Amino acid sequence: MSVKTKTPQAPVLDADSINLLERLSNAVAVSGDEGEVRAIVLEQVKPMADEVKVDALGNVLVTRKAKADGAPRVMLAAHMDEIGFMLVDEEEGGLYRFATVGGIDVRQLVGKPVWVGKQHTPGIIGARPIHLTTREERGRSIPLDQLRIDLGPGGKAKVGDRAAFATSFRQIGPSLVGKALDDRLGMATLIELLKHAPENVDLHLAFTVQEEVGLRGARVAGYTFNPDVAIAVDSTPAADLPMWDGSENGKYNCRLGAGPAVYVADGATLSDPRLIRLLAQTGDELGIPYQFRQPGGGGTDAGAIHKTRAGVPSISVSVPGRYAHSAVLISRMEDWQNTVNLLYHSLTRLNRDLLAQPR
Amino acid sequence: MTDLSAFLKELISLPGLSGHEGSIREVIARTWQPLVDDLSTSRLGSLHGLRRGSGLDPRPRILLSAHMDAIGLMVTQVKDGFLRFTQIGGVDPRILPGQQVTVHGRQDLPGVVVQPPERLLPPGNGDKTVEMEHLFIDTGLVPADVARLVRTGDLVSFAQPPVELAGETLAGHSLDNRASVAAVTACLDELAKTRHAWDVWAVATSQEEVTLGGAFTSPFDIRPDLAVAIDVTFAKGPGANDHRTYPLGKGPTLGWGPNVHPALYKAFKELADQLDIPNSMEPMPLMSGTDAMGLQVVAEGIPTMVIGVPLRYMHTPVELVAMKDITRVGHLLAEFIARLEPDFVEKIRWDE
C-alpha cells in the first residue's frame, strides 16, 4: 500500500555522538593552543575525508567531494578554540598570575577549579574570605590583578601555559552541561555531517583556530577553500532568563528548546538572504523547529569568511546555549539534533539554482 | 588507623548544611565508632563520641569540638524554571556565578548558579557585583519538572568535588570545618594507642555557621571540665596577607583572647613547643568566631581553648588546607590529653 520513496535521512545523534561531544568538551584548547582538540578532530575525520590538512595557523581543513562534478562548494566552519587563561607570571609557592584569553567576565572566575597546561594539572582560583571583607568591598567585583591560579605549595607550571575551567561534561535531563560547548557543539555537528555527508555538495569543513580572539583562523580558511557559500556553525547565548523586575524579557537573543538559531544579522555579518530563505523554507516544510536569533551584536566565523576574496555568501546557525564564556554552559539535546537536521536537509536542497538567484 | 585523606574527601563530598547535618553525622559516626566507647546524638543534632579514660571514677572530662555543618544556599522562589535563593551562613555573592551545586528537592538535582546577562539586571549594575537576589540556579530541567521537584526552603549545597593540589594539600567545599573533624579523628586514632586518664568527648557540633547551636548545648549534657574548639583560620594567600593570616602548612594557631582561658593557652603553647610542632599565636581580641563562644558560657562556664587550622579561601567552594596541619592538630590534642593529670583543673589558676 505504501510507496517507498528514498528520502534522505538526517544523522540521528546517539550515544557515540554524545561521547564525542564529551571528549571535545573536556579537552582544553584555549585560543592559539588548540592541539588537544585538533588531535581529536584529525582522528575523527581522517577515515571519512577525501582530503585533510592542517594549515599554517593550525586550522583543520577537511574536504569531502560530491558524487558528481560541478557541485556547489559549501564551507562549514566551527571553531576549535575556547576562552581561557594564560599564566603570565610565577610567584612563590605555586601561585601564578594569569591573563584572560577571549571575552571573559572576571566575575565568573572566583572560586573555580582550573586545569593548567597539557597535563591538566589541577589548580584553583580562590578569593579573600568573606570574613576579611567589608560590605562596600563586596559590592565591587574582584579585579583580575587580585586573583591567582593556585596549584598548591610547590606546584609547578610554566609561564605561558594555558588554563581552562575544570568542568567535566555531563547530561542532566534534557540538557547538555559542560564547558566550551561554544563551540564544541558546532564541531561535533560538522563531524556528524561529515559522517552522513550529503552527496550533492562538495563539503569543505573548517575546524578553525583563534575565533575567540579575532576570527583569525576563519579568515585564512575561507581564503583557502574559496567556497561558493559558507555556513558558520556555532553556539549563541540564550539569555532566556527572567528579568530582574519580573517584566517581560524582550532581550533573550534566543531560547533554549526552540531549535537552532538562524542569523539574519549580527555584529559582524549581514546574512545572505538566499541562505536565510533556504534554511527557513527547509525548516518550515519539514517541520524542523528553528528560531531567528534576535539581531544584535556578537559575531561568528562568518564575519571573517564572508569578506574573503571577492566575497562569500554566508550565514550562521547556532545551537542555543546558556551562560556562554563561563565555567558551565547548558544546551538542549533536542536543539542540537534539530540543528543537525536543519543543516543536513538544507544542504541536500542546496544547488546552483539557488546561487544563481539575485541576492 | 583512619585513612585521613580518604575520610576527609568523603566528608567534603557530602552536604550537611547547618541544621541538616544528618548525612555528614552518619559518616563521622561510622568512622568514630571503633574509636569510642559510646556514640549519641544531641537534641540539636551534634554527634557525641565518648572515649573513656583509665582514671578512677569519677573521671574529669575534656570536650573536643569541631563543627560539622556547612554553609550553603536555600531556595526562596521557583520562577519560570529558575530558582532564586538566599544564603545559609556567610556567603560572598561574588563567589557564586558559575558554581556547580546540588539542589536538595524532592530528589537531588544538579544545578549551576548563574549570573543573568547585564541587560536583564537593574540598569546601572555594570561590572559591579551582582547581588544574590538577582542570581539564579539553573537545573537544566524544563520549568514543569522544576516546579514539580523543587520548593521554597529546599537546601542547596556546593557540588565542587575534592581536588588534590601540590604539597599534600586538599581543596574543596566545607573544609571549614570538616578539616577539624578530621583532626579530632586523628586525635582519637592516636588515643586508641595511648593511655589517658581523662574521659574524652569528641563532639562534631551542628549549626555553628548560623547559630552556634551545637556549641551552646552539647556541653550542657556532657559537663566537661575543659573544652577545646578546633576550627579553621585564615591562611596566607592571594587576597589575604595581613596580620590576621597565618602560613599554610606551617602548623596550627593557638587562640589568645577572651574566649580562651590563659592557663590553657599556656599549657598548649608549652606542649607544642616541646613537641616541635610549629605554631602561631592567633590574637582574638574580641571573639574567636568559633564554637568556643558557645562552649565557654555553658552552665557555670568552662575553661576553653581555641586551635586553628590554617585554610585558604574560606567560605568558597575551593577552600584549601594542608594535610600536615590537620595531623599536627590531631597529634597536639592527643599528646595534651595523654598528659592530663586527674587534678589538672584544680591546678589551673588565673594569674593575679
Fold category of A84-165 in CATH:
Elongation Factor Tu (Ef-tu); domain 3 (2.40.30)
Torsion of CA A193, A198, A202, A204, to 10 degrees: 0
Nearest chain A Cα to B163, which residue?
A122
A158 touches B at CB < 8 Å: no
pLDDT digits (tens, 9 = 90+) for A244-285: 999 999 999 999 999 999 999 999 999 999 999 999 999 999
pLDDT digits (tens, 9 = 90+) for A289-316: 999 999 989 999 999 999 999 999 999 9
**pLDDT of A5:** 54
Out of B94, B136, B160, closest to residue A138 by CB: B94
For the entire predicted model, the pTM comes to: 0.93
Instruction: Please judge whether B136 and A126 are an interchain contact, meaning their C-beta atoms are less than 8 angstroms apart.
Output: no
Instruction: Please judge whether B244 and A95 are an interchain contact, meaning their C-beta atoms are less than 8 angstroms apart.
Output: no
Nearest chain A Cα to B244, which residue?
A132
Instruction: Please judge whether A131 and B312 are an interchain contact, meaning their C-beta atoms are less than 8 angstroms apart.
Output: no
- CA A278 to each of CA A12, A344, A348, B340: distance values in angstroms, whole numbers, following the listed order: 22, 12, 11, 86
A103 touches B at CB < 8 Å: no
Nearest chain A Cα to B135, which residue?
A244
Instruction: Please judge whether B112 and A243 are an interchain contact, meaning their C-beta atoms are less than 8 angstroms apart.
Output: no
Q: Which of A91, A211, A212, A285 is labelled catalytic? A: A211
Residue B291 to residue B259: CA distance in whole angstroms = 10
Among A95, A96, A130, the residue to mutate for chain B (most B Cβ within 10 A): A130
What are the per-10-residue average pLDDT scores of chain B (352 residues)? 96 97 98 98 98 95 98 97 97 97 98 96 94 97 98 98 98 98 98 97 97 96 97 96 96 97 96 98 95 96 97 98 98 98 89 66
Confidence of residue A198 (pLDDT cuts 50, 70, 90): very high
**pLDDT of A173:** 96
Are the CB atoms for A299 and A267 separated by under 8 Å?
A: yes
Residue A218 to residue A186: CA distance in whole angstroms = 14
Out of A113, A142, A175, closest to residue B140 by CB: A175
Residue at grid coordinates 542547596: B156
Interface A–B counts its CB contacts (< 8 A) at 202
Nearest chain A Cα to B80, which residue?
A242
**pLDDT of A7:** 66
Among A87, A95, A108, A110, the residue to mutate for chain B (most B Cβ within 10 A): A110
Nearest chain B Cα to A174, which residue?
B141
Among B112, B118, B288, the residue to mutate for chain A (most A Cβ within 10 A): B112
> How large is the angle between the packed helices A181-195 and A333-349, nearest 10 degrees?
50
The verdict on domain A15-82+179-356 having CATH code 3.40.50.150 is: no
Instruction: Please judge whether B116 and A239 are an interchain contact, meaning their C-beta atoms are less than 8 angstroms apart.
Output: yes
- CA B58 to each of CA B53, B64, B168, B303: distance values in angstroms, whole numbers, following the listed order: 10, 19, 42, 19
Assess whether B208 carries a catalytic annotation.
yes
Q: Which three cell numbers stand for residue B74?
A: 536555600
Among B141, B316, B320, B324, the residue to mutate for chain A (most A Cβ within 10 A): B316
pLDDT digits (tens, 9 = 90+) for B54-103: 999 999 999 999 999 999 999 999 999 999 999 999 999 999 999 999 99
pLDDT digits (tens, 9 = 90+) for B270-294: 999 999 999 999 999 999 999 999 9
Out of B97, B114, B313, closest to residue A127 by CB: B313
Please, what are the domains in chain B? 4-70+173-347 (3.40.630.10), 72-158 (2.40.30.40)
Residues forming beta bridges with residue B165, ordered by sequence position: B169
Share of chain B above pLDDT 90, in %: 98
Sequence spans of domains, chain A: 15-82+179-356, 84-165
3-state SS assignment for residue A56: coil
Cis-peptide, bond into residue A150, ω within 30° of zero: no
Share of chain A above pLDDT 70, in %: 98
Are the CB atoms for B253 and B279 separated by under 8 Å?
A: yes
DSSP string of A275-334, one letter each residue: HHHHHHHHHHHHT---EEPPS-S---THHHHTTSTT---EEEEEEEEBSTTSS-EEEEHH
Instruction: Please judge whether B94 and A152 are an interchain contact, meaning their C-beta atoms are less than 8 angstroms apart.
Output: no
Single-letter amino acid, residue A172: I
A170 touches B at CB < 8 Å: yes
A94 touches B at CB < 8 Å: yes
DSSP string of B193-247, one letter each residue: TS--SSEEEEEEES-TTTT-HHHHHHHHHH--SEEEEEEEEEBPBTTB-STT-B-
Instruction: Please judge whether A153 and B166 are an interchain contact, meaning their C-beta atoms are less than 8 angstroms apart.
Output: yes
| CA A324 to chain centroid | 10
A147 touches B at CB < 8 Å: yes
Exposed / middle / buried, residue A250 (Cβ in 10 Å: 0-12, 13-18, 19+):
exposed
pLDDT digits (tens, 9 = 90+) for A202-235: 999 999 999 999 999 999 999 999 999 999 999 9
User: Which of chain A's residues have a Cβ under 8 Å away from the Cβ of B92?
Assistant: 127, 130, 133, 138
Nearest chain B Cα to A167, which residue?
B100
Confidence of residue A6 (pLDDT cuts 50, 70, 90): low
Torsion of CA A343, A348, A350, A353, to 10 degrees: -160
Name the minimum distance, in Å, from the CA of B210 to any CA of chain A: 14
| CA A305 to chain centroid | 16
Exposed / middle / buried, residue B315 (Cβ in 10 Å: 0-12, 13-18, 19+):
buried
Are the CB atoms for A212 and A83 separated by under 8 Å?
A: yes
Name the minimum distance, in Å, from the CA of B113 to any CA of chain A: 9
Q: Which three cell numbers stand for residue B217?
A: 548545648
A107 touches B at CB < 8 Å: yes
